[in-house]
Amino acid sequence: MIPTEYTAEHYAEAAEKRRNESRPPFSIATMGSNFRRFNARVGVVFVLQHRLIRLLQWKTPSHTYAFLAIYFFICLDPSLLAALPFISLLLFLMVPTFIARPPPPPSALPSEPYSAHGQSIAPPIEVKPVAELSREFFRNLRDLQNTMDDFSNAHDALIRKIGPLTNFSDERLSSGVYCFFLALSALLFLTARLFPWRLIFLYHGYLLFALTHPTLQPYLLRSASAGSFAAKEKILASRFQNFTDNAFILDDPPETREIEIFELQRRDSPSSEWIPWLFSTSPYEPLCSSRIAGQRPTGTRFFEDVHPPEGWEFRGKKWEVDLGTEWVQERCITGVEVETEGERWVFDLEGVREGEYEWKRRRWVREVVRKVLV
């Protein structure tokens, strides 16, 4: 399920992908100008937030009862949601703006009936940004300040609750959470259509408003101060922790692999001495593509400069010569002579192409272990 090339760096680089070169870069002047423009226009958001809070707090019970009635019909027939945006547009935008522009009042003479015709007595309402340094501007600043504080507190509280469960800092606990949600997802995938979702949403929506009713607040505060909710939460967390400790055994050894490096030596002629050349990841056999193309082998001159792959570290203290010759057959290498004893060199056969050195190589191996990121 998880790509093998995925690393922790991929997670850290996610924020970098938000960059959009077509957008203006950061600027203090632009930030200040945009903030003032935003604050002058954000008042409608806080009005909606304030009205929602008043609904939850039962400040005007008739409004809350009306909302619960609408919620009741939507839960029974969710298709009514399609009409809800248009009804809201009519009731909360167009009707108030029309009422602000009524026709002239009826005449005092009984012989003249009331007429809905005529010139409106008020100009149309236009939504304009509030003036800077006005009372509304500072009211928006206050609400924006408090909203940022609420968001930060909610964000930190959510991270404190969700983080330890999902970031595998405790592998047993996170493994238990993963298996629980995996099983729940599979169960819902098969049985979700069997649940009475309309009644479920209706029940929980009414329960939320019931818990915020002023008559229940003293009892809830008294229960919270007594610590009954926190005690039950700790009991559940302790039981789940005990279950994961017993159900998941994560004492497997760290992942290890064997890496290889080839020591290459060359000489000018059969009568000359072998010269240590370099350590390469390729054996540079006679028929390899780079050698046929006339390219020189690549690598490092000294063993100390050979490093493990990224994300891994050496396990053993030193490299060891591979005393087997299976790697020659596995790579289908031809045109070489294998030394079956001694230092296990693999020589080029006689008849080296004109103008080319003669090469020999041997394979060194070493174990690496995956790094543990703390």
Of 323, 360, 365, 318, residue with least CA distance to 344: 323
The answer, yes or no, to whether residue 20 has pLDDT greater than 90, is no
The string of DSSP codes covering 244-271 is: HHHH----PPPPEEEEEEEEEEEESSTT
Helices (H), the chain: 8-12, 28-41, 43-56, 61-76, 84-89, 95-99, 135-166, 171-191, 197-211, 217-226, 228-247, 289-292, 326-330
Residue range 277-324, pLDDT digits in tens: 999 999 999 888 888 888 889 999 988 899 998 888 888 788 999 988
Give the Cα separation of 369 and 308 in Å (integer): 9
Helix, strand, or coil here: 27? coil
Other beta carbons within 10 Å of 297 = 20
**What does the alpha-carbon distance between residue 309 and residue 259 come to, in Å, rounded to a whole number?**
9
Binning pLDDT at 50, 70 and 90, where does residue 105 land? low
Query: pLDDT over 90 for what percent of the chain?
Result: 40
User: Using 50, 70 and 90 to split pLDDT, how confident is the model at 221?
Assistant: confident
Q: With CA atoms as reference, report the closest residue to 349 among 365, 366, 328.
A: 328
pLDDT tens column, 58-75: 999 999 999 999 999 999
Span 344-370, mean pLDDT? 82
Residue located via tokens 């100390």: 304
pLDDT, averaged across the chain:
84
Task: Look at the block and give the residue holding tokens 């729940």.
Answer: 184
- Residue 263, strand partner residues: 279, 362
The upper half-sphere exposure of residue 59, i.e. CA atoms within 13 Å in the direction of its Cβ, equals 7
Give residue-wise pLDDT tens across range 319-346.
Answer: 999 988 889 988 888 888 888 888 889 9
Other CB atoms within 10 Å distance of the CB of residue 370: 14
Q: What is the pLDDT of residue 188?
A: 93
Under DSSP, the state recorded for 133 is T
Report the half-sphere exposure of 284 (CA within 13 A, side-chain side). Answer: 26
Q: What are the structure tokens assigned to 2, written together?
A: 């998880």
Domain parsing of the chain, residue ranges:
169-197+216-251, 256-370
CA distance 40 to 38: 5
Is 268 a residue whose pLDDT tops 80? yes
Find, among 244, 277, 253, 232, the residue nearest to 165 by Cα.
244
Can you tell me whether residue 368 is helix, strand or coil? Answer: strand
DSSP secondary structure letter of residue 349: P
pLDDT band at 95 (very low <50, low <70, confident <90, very high): confident
Is a pLDDT exceeding 70 seen at residue 5?
Answer: no
Q: What is the pLDDT of residues 149-187, one digit of tens each?
A: 999 999 999 999 898 888 888 888 888 889 899 999 999
Compute CA distances 98 → 121, 122, 123, 130, whole Å.
Answer: 11, 10, 10, 22
